[in-house]
Amino acid sequence: MLFLRDLLVIFVVALLISFLIKTFLIRSFYIPSSSMEQTLQVDDRIIVNQLEPGLMPIEHGDVVVFTDPGGWLPPSVEVEQNPIVASLDWLASIVGLSAPDSNDHLVKRVIGLPGDHVVCCNALGQMSVNDIALDESSYIAPTGETRVSKDDFDVVVPADSLWMMGDNRYNSKDSRYNGTTPGEGYVPLENVVGRALVVSWPLGHLSWLDNHADVFRGVEQTDDGATDTEVPTGTQTDGE
């Protein structure tokens, strides 16, 4: 009886710790669509750091999970499960090993932060952020197209919002194509669940999710609204 009691206590404590980790630190989601290929494949599982953006700031290039701002997703259809599978899925969701609400969330890459000027496309088919052209060849899905977006756009990201795009640019219903929704295509920071850190399943896809900082180098704005690559008036750069 003492052994069974101790075993039950260990199980309850482990369940409680797992629940707290899932609630406040990390949790798992699965990928139901192809909008982030080749970075993420359909049915991949990812581990998400829920400390962002509350304690750790969101940065350009981060892959983030967020709740639907309204109108991005079609109405969800409840999937019927037998009682045993449903119970196991519920138990796994408590400890963060399952994500039955994945269909109510989206995952995209952060392209524009609050105040950013995002434009597409230049003569080379590239997108620019704060007048800095981006070479995104390291992560966008190859399409045979020279332009990173089929459609042009020119936006300034509102305060406390993000401009989000999928890596599969020709098959992603992202900020570009949600202009008629209540949020006009922008994602409020309060809708962000967290930053995706790792592809955890299947094991053959196990990998760390990079935010490709080199791609966005120089686009950050200073307090006066200038980018950190701009040269103050009255100074010269080499060659001038």
Q: Which of the 8 DSSP states describes residue 181? A: S
108 is catalytic: yes
Candidate list 22, 108, 161, 175, residue with the active-site label: 108
For the record, the structure tokens of 207 come out as: 């990998």
Q: How far is CA 71 from the centre of its chain?
A: 18
All residues at 6 or more sequence positions from 8 whose CB lies less than 8 Å from its CB, including other chains: none
Candidate list 35, 98, 172, 175, residue with the active-site label: 35
H runs (alpha helix) in 121-190: none
Q: Distance between CA atoms of 157 and 136, rounded to whole angstroms?
A: 20
**Residue 2 CB: number of other CB atoms within 10 A?**
6
172 is catalytic: no
Q: Distance between CA atoms of 184 and 147, rounded to whole angstroms?
A: 23
Residues designated catalytic: 35, 108
